[in-house]
Structures are given as structure tokens and as C-alpha cells.
Amino acid sequence: MHLDAKIYVAGHQGMVGSAILRKLQNAGYYNFVLHTSAELDLREQSAVQQFFEIEEPQYVFLAAAKVGGIHANNTYRAEFIYDNLVIQNNVIHQSFKTGVRKLVFLGSSCIYPKYAQQPIKEEALLTGPLEPTNEPYAIAKIAGIKMCQAYNAQYGSNFISLMPTNLYGPNDNYDLENAHVLPALMRKIHEAKVKGEEEVEIWGTGKVRREFLHVDDLADACLFLMNSYDKPDIINVGTGKDLSIYELAMLLKSVIGYKGRLRFNSSKPDGTPRKLLNTSLINQMGWYPKIELREGIQKVYGEYEKKHLQIY
């Protein structure tokens, strides 16, 4: 991908899209076509068609999606399947129609079966039932993967699919109703510290294990794979390390400086028992993450404090 290539980052204001844009800018790319969701609703087929026909981007990073944590996924099941299907259908199809040279589609580790063998290899896809709480989102993402593969097979497109693990970083969502586990816990523990509360309630048993990747590392992997990976097979992007939610909460407690207790509410859902990605494929290509979890959390918490995102 030449530095003057015309690049469309779909979802450039979100956590993932903004990280990809930062990475590209830092690497010397400058010819971007960008539209906010208010300017271009990717759910509107005719609007997406018109956009691609007028702008004719050469490369596309499809980071636009409706995302959220376990509560949001389980509550807004219809929106999670509809919005994600329509967004990716429109962008992938118009990328084909207008001759986009290469597209990076971002999936999710939740595409894998709930009880997949750990660490999860790419070939585990469609080998067992999904986690029920996020099944609509996972099915939409699986459809996106299969759509990219179908266009590659039938038309010779170069549409690749990355499966990132749980992400965190700048521009994350801290809404307690809809956020993922790390930002939600960060906000809850921070607010408990500020308010002088003696206890923080955390959903689930604390025993389930999760892997966390800083979004800047994902952006680095996106550019790396855009420039070096041309296979239709999906490829995992993660750290290869996980920890329990209890360990994550204790790490956040330490970074934030909270002195109170953590209480785990086992009546609330845990989700998938473990979700650790096997990253041997991308590691064999020479890519590894650079940001350690404590370092990443310290940086993110510093940014969170500065922006005064807490709401009392």
C-alpha cells in the first residue's frame, strides 16, 4: 500500500477506527476519505453505493460496527445482528463493485464456539455452539467473514478477515450499561475511589478468563496484515496471554489506587468460560504485540482521568 493510496477507514471515530487512522498517519499515509456516521449512515445501501462510486477508495479498513459488552449484546440482540449485517454487507459489496484493491474486515474472538479448545485456533470456527449472550453479534461477524471469502472465491477479491481478542484503549466506551468489561470495571472502581465507597460490585464469579489487547497494537497488526497477508483464511490477533476477571479487577484496583473491597455477584452472567486466542499464525509472520497490560492500563487510566469521563 503506497503512502499516497486513497484509504477509507470506516468507523474512524470509534476506538478501533481512530487507532487505525492514527497508525496510518504516523506511518506516513495521508490520502484519507473519512465520513462520520452522521454524514454517512453505513446502514443505508444507496448512500454507501453513492459514496463508493464518487470517492473510489483503493483500500478499506472496515472498523465500523455496533459493539458492546455482555449486557448490551444480550439486551439489544436485534440491533446487534441487523446493524452489523447491513453495515458489512453494504461496505463489502460496494468495495467489490467499485474495484477496491484490498479490504480488511475486523471480526471478533466471539465468533468461536463457547467451549472451543484453548488457546483457540482459527480452524475452530463453526465447530460448536456459540456463547448465547452474544450470539447475534457473533453470527453477524461470521457472515462478514464468509462474505469476504465468497467474494474472494467467486470474483478474485482481496478481502482479508482479522479476529482480534478483547480490546481496550483511547476512545473506549465507559457507559456502564453497554461497555466491555475492562472499561466498565475501570469506571466503577474509579468512581468508588472518588466517592469513598467501601465496596465495588462486579458481575459474575470473577473466575472466567479473558485476553486483552491494546487497540494501538491491533492497529499495528491491521497495517502489517494489509501489507503482507493475502489469504482468505481468517487470522487471529491477540497477545497469547489471559487472566481471570478477578485478576483484572485486582490489577485495575492497584493502578487506580482503590483501597476498598471487590464483591463478585455470581447471580450475574459470566459469559464464555475462557477466550484465549492462538496467535501462532501471525507470530510466525513476525508480528507480536508491544504493549504490556499493566502499562496499557496505566496509560488508558491517565487519559480517562484527564478527560473527566466520570459521571456522578
Do 41 and 25 have their domain in common? yes
What CATH number has the domain bearing residue 30? 3.40.50.720
In a 3-state reduction of DSSP, which class is residue 144? helix
| pLDDT confidence of residue 78 | 95
Do 147 and 197 have their domain in common? no
In angstroms, rounded to a whole number, what is the distance separating the alpha carbons of residues 75 and 63? Answer: 22
The phi and psi torsions of 70 (rounded to 5 degrees) equal -60, -40
Do 43 and 114 have their domain in common? yes
| pLDDT confidence of residue 168 | 96
Do 157 and 272 have their domain in common? no
Residues 91 and 248 sit within 8 Å (Cβ to Cβ): no
Residue 176 lies in a domain: no
| pLDDT confidence of residue 268 | 87
In a 3-state reduction of DSSP, which class is residue 277? strand
Closest CA to 236 of 149, 142, 139, 107: 107
Residue 268 lies in a domain: yes
Do 94 and 199 have their domain in common? no
The phi and psi torsions of 61 (rounded to 5 degrees) equal -110, 110
Do 249 and 228 have their domain in common? no
Do 163 and 258 have their domain in common? no
Do 201 and 117 have their domain in common? no
Do 144 and 258 have their domain in common? no
Residue 161 lies in a domain: yes
Residue 175 lies in a domain: no
Radius of gyration of the chain (CA): 19
| pLDDT confidence of residue 312 | 43
Residue 236 lies in a domain: yes
**Backbone region of residue 206 per phi and psi (left: phi > 0; alpha: psi in -120 to 50; beta: other values):** left
Do 127 and 102 have their domain in common? yes
Closest CA to 34 of 26, 14, 46, 44: 14
| pLDDT confidence of residue 308 | 61
Residue 216's H or E segment, with its range, is: helix 215-228
Residue 312 lies in a domain: no
How does DSSP classify residue 124?
Answer: G
Residue 174 lies in a domain: no
The whole domain housing 18 covers 7-169+212-240+280-284
What CATH number has the domain bearing residue 263? 3.90.25.10
Residue 275's H or E segment, with its range, is: strand 274-275
Binding-site residue numbers are 11-17, 106-109, 141, 164-167, 180, 188, 203, 210, 270
Give the contacts of 274 (CB within 8 A, at least 6 positions apart): 118, 208, 209, 210, 242
Binding-site residue numbers for NADP(+) are 11-17, 106-109, 141, 164-167, 180
Per-residue pLDDT of the chain (312 residues; tens, 9 = 90+): 999 999 999 999 999 999 999 999 999 999 999 999 999 999 999 999 999 999 999 999 999 998 877 777 788 899 999 999 999 999 999 999 999 999 999 999 999 999 999 999 999 999 999 999 889 999 999 999 999 999 999 999 999 999 999 999 999 988 887 778 899 999 999 999 999 999 999 989 999 999 999 999 999 999 999 999 999 999 999 999 999 999 999 999 999 999 999 999 999 888 778 899 999 999 999 999 999 999 999 999 999 988 765 444
Binding-site residue numbers for substrate are 188, 203, 210, 270
In angstroms, rounded to a whole number, what is the distance separating the alpha carbons of residues 256 and 168? Answer: 16
Burial of residue 170 (CB within 10 Å: 0-12, 13-18, 19+) is middle
In a 3-state reduction of DSSP, which class is residue 236? strand
Residue 59 lies in a domain: yes
Count the domains in the chain: 2
| pLDDT confidence of residue 269 | 80
| pLDDT confidence of residue 306 | 81
Give catalytic residues, as residue numbers. Answer: 137
Do 140 and 59 have their domain in common? yes
Closest CA to 271 of 120, 168, 131, 141: 131
In angstroms, rounded to a whole number, what is the distance separating the alpha carbons of residues 156 and 106? Answer: 20
Do 89 and 155 have their domain in common? yes
| Diameter of the chain measured on Cα atoms | 61
How does DSSP classify residue 289?
Answer: -
